[in-house]
Amino acid sequence: MLQSTMLLAPPSGFHNDCIYIHDSLFICLSTISFEISFQVQKKNYRQEKKRAAKELFSALKDPSVVIMSNWLKIRGTLKSWTKLWCALKPGVLLIYKTPSSEHWVGTILLNACKLIERPSKKDGFCFKLYHPLDKSIWAMKGPKGETVGSITQPLPSNYLIFRAASESDGRCWMDALELALSCSSLYKLTAKTCKDGDLSSSSESSHILQLLQSTALNDQELLHGGASLWVVKTQSVAREIKGVVFLQPGEASQVETVSEENKGLIWTLLKQLRPGMDLSKVVLPTFILEPRSFLDKLSDYYYHANFLSQAVAEENPYCRMKQILRWYLSGFYKKPKGLKKPYNPILGETFRCCWLHPQTDSCTFYLAEQVSHHPPISAFFVSNRKDGFCISGSILAKSKFYGNSLSAILDGKAKLLLLGRDEEYVITMPYAHCKGILYGTMTLELGGKVTIECEKTKYFAELEFKLKPFLGSSCNVNQISGKIRMGEDLLATIDGHWDGEVLLHEKKTGHQEMLWKPTAEVRKQRLRRQVVQLDQQGPFESERLWQHVTSAITTKDQNKATQEKFVLEEAQRQEARERGDRPWRPHFFTQNPDTNEWQYKYADTKPWDPECCLIQFEKDGIIQTKERCRRQHNGFTYSQNWTSQQKVSCSCSTHGNTTKKL
């Protein structure tokens, strides 16, 4: 059969670029172009895949980075507990006898494990790692090739039960394990990629990759299906990490998404953090800052200071404790939109404000000062002599990073003094727990046990702020429980949600009452806070000190905000260099050498005497009282003298000041 050697016209319907040669063979230029384009896309795809894998590994998945490490108690097969050092890394949990990592006990492979919270009657917090099909969870070799681990009590093969020292520690371990479990699935999909890309040359990295290599996808799976799965999963995890959603539990409307401009900033920040790091020394990007100082934020507890005025008026000590509890709970429901952090105060920074009490014609004054920078300590004093109370205290703000979560602890005590009754109530604070930083939705909760105790009356109140359980629903968010005792007698129990309804149950009578609920009516009754006008503030008063940073954040000019923030921080460093070894001396507070407590220098805790006390005012940070002259017989009301006194004292009043409804 003769083969045609003629160049024929292409059949109808084909492009002119098509050539019909020998045995009806068509060579399409468009097809050639498509093949070239496909090869380019394939090359770009491989490069992008390696780039994404390298970025994730270098930031989060590098085995040289420990997600979390600490002592945990582990229950053996004989149901006794052994204290062992646990180091959580991406994909594995390494267990040692000591923190030196010399005496290896075993390695748990997390890629097949499930995690669940375990109820416990004892102190601490329990959780369980287990294989859903009762298979072994242990690796055959240690990180240095060990085949036999250090001798301990026998441990189960298909599960392990852990006990942390406290609920906060246990929650941090649960969050970190949740992150590590997610990392293990990425390990399986990227074991081949990591080997080709030589992302980590450490022996420990090779060991972990070898442990997971058996379940990694082969070349054909990566090419035909696994690769697309890897890309989709990598991009989804990257979106969850970079496109952080800020959510306030109990306030579904308070949702904030980080803009594209800021995603790279938070990504860079997270790569610099290490588990256990103290965040007080970390310079945070300005877009996660609440545009006000921490000294200002501490004043949020006094918008309902009228509850303290009512507590002073109560004759029954049990009723006084209930009113103090009501005031305490009123300080938590005021929250910023999204998850925001106030400015770290500059050493020597001060903030002052006041709240007018229309019902008692009095005023509550607030003054705070940053008395130490390392460690960061904020001292404060609150006074309303006419209504009969004052509060003093100091807060050491500590924060720790745990991989996928962090805790902010307000270490310190406040002392509430009821002047006319000589009763002192010692009050502690809960901690804030933020999880979902790297993986999942970022949420903020309050946790821990707090106490309010009066030694004179023997009344004692305990509140527990509960974190959401690992498998809990939305109704478990922001839960609180507690009790009121007088000596050993239990008088009442408390339960509810600290940002919602809190009920009190009388034990003897069975009576139930509403202790606290931030209704619209309650919010309307908030006292009006007043601050000194900006042009009358000193150079180290918070609003004036941070005014340029605040203005830039308000206008969403993050570059300018960062520059202005750097100027303040650099000025503080320069001042510290010039000061040298000389100790810093605060302006308004002094430290008691016996108790190490910070005390306001000008505190006046004498009960209010209406016969001689005329008006309480504040001038230049000094809270003082103007007394009636002996020759003076005419009466004055607080509001009449407030304006006239302002002309002399520049105190916080309507005259010459800015009124803010917050």
Q: Which residue has the higher pLDDT, 385 or 11?
A: 385
- What are the contacts of 313-322 at 24+ separation with CB within 8 A? 317/423, 317/454, 317/457, 317/459, 318/459, 318/484, 318/486, 318/491, 320/418, 320/423, 320/457, 320/459, 321/452, 321/454, 321/457, 321/459, 321/461, 321/484, 322/484, 322/504, 322/515
Query: Which of the residue ranges 223-227, 378-382, 625-629, 646-650 has the most confident prediction, judged by mean pLDDT?
Result: 378-382
Residue 563: which residues within 8 A CB-CB, separation 6 or more?
none
CA distance 339 to 499: 16
* Confidence band of 473 (pLDDT split at 50, 70, 90): low
- In total, the chain counts a number of residues equal to 662
Token pair in block for residue 27: 């060579």
pLDDT digits (tens, 9 = 90+) for 332-370: 887 665 567 788 899 999 999 999 999 999 999 999 999
For 259-282, what is each residue's pLDDT tens digit?
444 444 455 555 555 555 555 555
Cβ neighbors of 405 (< 8 A, separation 6 or more) are 171, 172, 175, 176, 433, 434, 435, 436, 437
Q: What is the DSSP secondary structure assignment for residue 394, as one 8-state letter?
A: E
The per-residue pLDDT for range 408-446, each reduced to its tens digit, is 888 899 999 999 999 999 999 998 887 766 555 667 788
pLDDT at residue 646, as a whole number: 37
Cα–Cα distances (Å) from 204 to 150, 153, 181, in that order, read 19, 26, 18
Higher pLDDT, residue 175 or 32? 175
Whether 235 shows a pLDDT value over 50: the answer reads no
Task: Tell me the pLDDT of the chain averaged across its residues.
Answer: 76
Neighbours of 196 (CB within 10 A): 11
> CB of 255 within 8 A of CB of 245?
yes
Q: Write the pLDDT tens digit of every residue in 488-501.
A: 999 999 999 998 89
Query: What are 70's strand-pairing partners?
Result: 86
Which pLDDT value is given to residue 141? 79
Higher-confidence residue of 166 and 187: namely 166
- Rg, Å, the chain Cα set: 32
Q: What is the pLDDT of residues 69-100, one digit of tens each?
A: 889 999 888 788 999 999 888 778 889 998 88
Tell me the average pLDDT across 236-252: 35
In degrees and rounded to multiples of 5, residue 11 shows phi and psi of -60, 155
Range 546-575 average pLDDT: 90
| 392 touches 600 (CB < 8 A) | yes
Region 375-402: what's the mean pLDDT? 91
- In contact, 189 and 233? CB cutoff 8 Å: yes
Q: How confident is the model at residue 198 (pLDDT cuts 50, 70, 90)?
A: very low
- Highest-scoring range by mean pLDDT, 32-36, 63-67, 253-257, 466-470: 466-470
Q: What percent of the chain has pLDDT over 90?
A: 39
Query: Which tens digits make up the pLDDT trace of 501-523?
Result: 999 999 999 999 999 999 989 99
Q: What is the pLDDT of residue 46?
A: 80
Longest dimension (CA), the chain: 137
Tell me the mean pLDDT in the region 114-136.
Answer: 88
Q: Is the per-residue pLDDT at 457 higher than 50?
A: yes
Partners of 416 in the β-ladder: 391, 425
